[in-house]
Chain A
Amino acid sequence: MPDPVPDPTDTPSALTPDEEKARATEALAATAAQLRERGQAAGGTAAEVLDALAMMAEDPSLATDVQQRIEKGATAEYAVFAAMDAFRELLAGMGGYLGERADDLGDVARRAIARLQGLPAPGVPESEHPFILVARDLAPADTATLDLDRVLALVTTEGGPTSHTAILAREKGITAIVGALQAAELNDGDLVLVDAENGTIELDPAQERIDLAVQRTATLQAIRAASSGPGRLADGHAVPLLANIGSPESAREAAARGAEGVGLFRTEVLFLGAEKAPSVEEQAATYREVFANFPGQKVVVRVLDAGADKPLAFLTDAGEENPALGRRGLRALAAHEEVLRDQLTALAQAAEGSEAEVQVMAPMVSTAQEATYFRDLAHELGIRIAGVMVEVPSCAIMADHVVPNADFVSIGTNDLTQYVFAADRLLGSVAGFQNPWHPAVLRLIQQVGSAGTEHGVPVGICGEAAADPLLAVVLVGLGATTLSMSSTSIADVRAEISQYTLDEARALAAIAVAADSAESARDAVAAAADELDPVEPAAP
């Protein structure tokens, strides 16, 4: 894809300020309209993203800035460019998520400038035959309207995992590699093989590599298309695929996407922003609404996980220096037992008369004593099945004592990874540590899995790790009995696990825990998985 139109230069305008202002206003309004139109054509998240971009083009602060620049003698082109650039730099300077939004703003500017110069809107080139699109970065407007029959894969040299390109590509199921620096060397017409699963780009691949890739893609597509119903391995071993949800709305969505139940129902949403806990009756009504979506299926409710990044006025101690290491989760609830008792009572009330199989678990459990405390209290208040979340390394290390004191355990891989590496999972500068493929995390999961097998206690996984199809296979090999994830990932995970027997999953798990880093674990497992002959999916 060609690089966009060059930036305009600050040359004196030949028109009157009023004429330039009218041109700028027209171009910005037309750009906004064009973005909305593309968004509406694409629908879904794309519509929201493009609508936000349209709002940027129409922004009143930007318009004021543009007009002031024109009054000082700038052309409409330069005024739009400079005003956008000032905001772009402001956002870029803030880094992280906002820094990536700066690129979006650059795209809005280029569209408006192309319009002012009478050039076609920048975008994906037209082509007669299917092609692999290589670009510096793809504007959200382009990703959203990609012709999936024409574009075989997408490679960008810039952009990070949270860029809109990455998010939209994931949503549309486009084979995509984002931020591949080496792709800058590629030329128009090069023959390349893009392997998004392994993040590799191969230049001039041998014919047999191409044949293998084509065959692999076809197999995967066939398996995905044929995959529905409950999650199971190639040998028929059942691995229920559950959803992580946060509201009655997401419960409905998960049920529609074929979740076999809920592995993590976050209840904070009922409480956030509240000055005091909602009443037992109010809580029970919301819980009932969620349970109603899963008759005959499991719904695992996590009691309030307040503290750290989710402070609550009535539970969280103010002024903790390290809230992630503070009185959060079960620790906060135990200190305010009346809140926990009310929530368990509300859950027991809602479970009664519901057809869902309601289970309740406690977050941030770090000792066997806490597990016992929670289970006893939950049983006392009428909850039949009470378990604990394994997120704190001490809990995994003591799994042989914790597991017998719980009706089930659920491993929260995001927090477990954060605590294993002592790396704040919300902090960009240590984000590199937040990788559940690391054997340090996998070995702890293995200990919990073994304890679960030995004591006959179910071991669930909830967290992003379960949504990574290949890692999901490893987790089953480590002893996970259920996997819970955002419901959009269920189809992919279902398709992937159906290709391996339990013995094969265990063999892949052994390879992963023996590695010396997250990257080598992933690479070694991917290589071993490639060698295993794809197996026909198990009959439903």
Chain B
Amino acid sequence: MADRTLVVASAHGLHARPAALFVKAATDSGASVHLRKGDRTVDAKSILGVISLGIDHGDEVTLAVEGENDEAVLNELAAFLEQDHDA
């Protein structure tokens, strides 16, 4: 398993559009991906789970990836979160 803690860059946090893109990327990866904010962890393939974390710009989250190529998937998803998709 690979995990990493990072700061979300999107100006409006992980709301509808960036959340949908992120969930799509997580689903397409084929790996098992979980996202944690504070003490809540959700399945990154669940858009309802991801938006219900209420992740705002600048929030710290932890990504955990299990499966083949976990490092590569982690790098890709982390890079996504560290980009501003609302700019």
B25 close to A (CB within 8 Å): no
Contact with B along A239-261 (1 / 0, CB 8 A): 00000001100000000000000
The reply to whether B17 and A91 contact each other, CB–CB distance below 8 Å, is no
Which of chain A's residues has its CB closest to B42's CB?
A: A61
Complex interface residues of chain A between 22 and 79 (CB less than 8 A to chain B): 48-49, 51-52, 55-56, 59-62
A311 close to B (CB within 8 Å): yes
The reply to whether B46 and A59 contact each other, CB–CB distance below 8 Å, is yes
The reply to whether B84 and A269 contact each other, CB–CB distance below 8 Å, is yes
Set of chain B residues within 8 Å of A268, measured between Cβ atoms: 84, 87
The reply to whether A311 and B42 contact each other, CB–CB distance below 8 Å, is no
Set of chain B residues within 8 Å of A213, measured between Cβ atoms: none
The reply to whether B43 and A61 contact each other, CB–CB distance below 8 Å, is yes
Known contacts A48-B20, A269-B84, A273-B83; is-contact A97 B15 (Cβ 8 Å): yes
CB distance from A322 to the nearest CB of B (A): 15
Contact with A along B65-87 (1 / 0, CB 8 A): 00000000000000000111001
The reply to whether A246 and B51 contact each other, CB–CB distance below 8 Å, is no
B30 close to A (CB within 8 Å): no
Set of chain B residues within 8 Å of A55, measured between Cβ atoms: 20, 23-24, 47
Which of chain A's residues has its CB closest to B46's CB?
A: A61
Summed over the interface, the residue pairs from A and B with CB atoms below 8 Å come to a total of: 67
Residue in B19, B42, B48 whose CB lies within 8 Å of A62: B48
Residue in B23, B47, B51, B87 whose CB lies within 8 Å of A272: B87
Set of chain B residues within 8 Å of A61, measured between Cβ atoms: 42-43, 46, 48-49
Known contacts A60-B43, A61-B42, A309-B11; is-contact A87 B48 (Cβ 8 Å): yes
The reply to whether A94 and B12 contact each other, CB–CB distance below 8 Å, is no
A341 close to B (CB within 8 Å): no
CB distance from A139 to the nearest CB of B (A): 14
Which of chain B's residues has its CB closest to A250's CB?
A: B87
Which of chain B's residues has its CB closest to A95's CB?
A: B54
Set of chain B residues within 8 Å of A310, measured between Cβ atoms: 11
Residue in A101, A266, A309 whose CB lies within 8 Å of B16: A101
**Distance of A199 Cα from B4 Cα, bound (Å):** 49
Complex interface residues of chain B between 4 and 50 (CB less than 8 A to chain A): 7, 9, 11-12, 15-17, 19-20, 23-24, 42-43, 45-49
The reply to whether A90 and B83 contact each other, CB–CB distance below 8 Å, is no
Which of chain A's residues has its CB closest to B13's CB?
A: A97
Set of chain A residues within 8 Å of B11, measured between Cβ atoms: 309-310
Set of chain A residues within 8 Å of B12, measured between Cβ atoms: 97
Which of chain B's residues has its CB closest to A105's CB?
A: B48
Set of chain A residues within 8 Å of B83, measured between Cβ atoms: 272-273
Known contacts A52-B20, A309-B57, A311-B58; is-contact A62 B51 (Cβ 8 Å): no
Set of chain A residues within 8 Å of B17, measured between Cβ atoms: 48, 52
The reply to whether A272 and B9 contact each other, CB–CB distance below 8 Å, is yes
**Distance of A219 Cα from B33 Cα, bound (Å):** 56
The reply to whether A52 and B52 contact each other, CB–CB distance below 8 Å, is no
**Distance of A52 Cα from B83 Cα, bound (Å):** 20
A116 close to B (CB within 8 Å): no
Set of chain B residues within 8 Å of A49, measured between Cβ atoms: 16
The reply to whether B47 and A90 contact each other, CB–CB distance below 8 Å, is no
**Distance of A55 Cα from B47 Cα, bound (Å):** 7
**Distance of A272 Cα from B36 Cα, bound (Å):** 22
The reply to whether B47 and A56 contact each other, CB–CB distance below 8 Å, is yes
**Distance of A439 Cα from B48 Cα, bound (Å):** 42
Known contacts A52-B47, A61-B43, A91-B52; is-contact A272 B16 (Cβ 8 Å): no
The reply to whether A94 and B54 contact each other, CB–CB distance below 8 Å, is yes
The reply to whether B84 and A272 contact each other, CB–CB distance below 8 Å, is yes
A381 close to B (CB within 8 Å): no
**Distance of A266 Cα from B83 Cα, bound (Å):** 15
Residue numbers of B with Cβ under 8 A of A are: 7, 9, 11-12, 15-17, 19-20, 23-24, 42-43, 45-49, 51-52, 54, 57-58, 82-84, 87
User: What 6 A-B pairs come out closest when comparing CB atoms?
Assistant: A61-B46, A52-B20, A273-B82, A246-B87, A269-B87, A273-B9
30 of the cross-chain contacts (CB-CB < 8 Å) are A51-B20, A52-B19, A52-B20, A52-B47, A55-B20, A56-B47, A59-B48, A61-B43, A61-B48, A61-B49, A62-B46, A87-B48, A91-B51, A97-B15, A98-B51, A101-B15, A101-B16, A105-B48, A266-B87, A268-B87, A272-B84, A272-B87, A273-B7, A273-B9, A273-B82, A273-B83, A273-B84, A309-B11, A309-B58, A311-B58
16 A-B pairs besides A61-B43, A246-B87, A273-B82 with CB distance below 8 A are A52-B16, A52-B19, A59-B46, A59-B49, A61-B42, A61-B48, A61-B49, A87-B52, A91-B52, A94-B52, A98-B52, A101-B15, A101-B16, A101-B51, A272-B9, A309-B57
